[in-house]
Amino acid sequence: MSIYDIRTMGETIKGNEYVGRGIVIGKTEDGTKAAIAYFIMGRSENSRNRVFKEAENSEVIIFPFDESKVEDPSLIIYSPIKKFGQATIVTNGDQTQTIYEYLYGGKSFEAALETRCFEPDGPNWTPRISGMVAQYNGDFTYKMSILKSGDAEGTVCNRFTFSYAPIAGLGHFLHTYVENGNPIPTFQGEPERVSIPNDIDEFFNDIWENLDEDNKISLYVRYIDLATGEEENRMVNKNQ
């Protein structure tokens, strides 16, 4: 297997019971659109009690499906997708707002995440994963980040950032966990190389249909036309 091999999202996630939360960013095969996907999974009733909702200014917000069942909202209610100018931020936690505020203050994606750490949910110490698409002159660049514990006790935070020039047909997939477990093993290595088709519905369905049926919760996909800035979105919630 070459380091340049590319698999579909379906091939990458099929049969994996629990990859946690996931971000995909890349460029469509015809080179005309930036693609962003974000999904959440959950094992506990608290985690599964969530839905995505679209808000103003292209923002996506997570809400409880049944407010009476909310146990701890601190790590499950946040905006996974938010725009600042020509930048689109996507994360698995409230660091979305941290990145937004740093960009607003003229600072960088990396500087924002230097102030944050993995989630305080030992013994899993769930990583914070983040991404950002920055559009300019009819094209874009993108970054991805993971903040994770350096040991089993959660005593130190290690921060990794990956910066990409887009390649037509290629995306990168970053997720919180390798697979199910107790504690759940943290994602290792570089974001995985996946294919990005031209058709948003093909991409959307390939992800949703291959996520574990018991543990998948919600999925959001956005394609951004690089020439016009027009956005095309798809969203599904298991809790309807």
pTM attached to this predicted model: 0.96
| Distance of alpha carbon 176 from alpha carbon 189, whole angstroms | 11
What is the per-residue pLDDT for 196? Answer: 98
Q: Which phi-psi region, left, alpha or beta, contains residue 58 (left: φ > 0; alpha: ψ -120 to 50)?
A: left
**pLDDT tens figures, 39-84:** 999 998 888 999 999 999 999 999 999 888 877 777 778 999 999 9
For 6, half-sphere exposure in the C-beta direction (CA atoms, 13 angstrom radius) is 13
Q: How far apart are the first and last CA of the chain?
A: 41
**pLDDT tens figures, 166-194:** 999 999 999 999 999 999 999 999 999 99
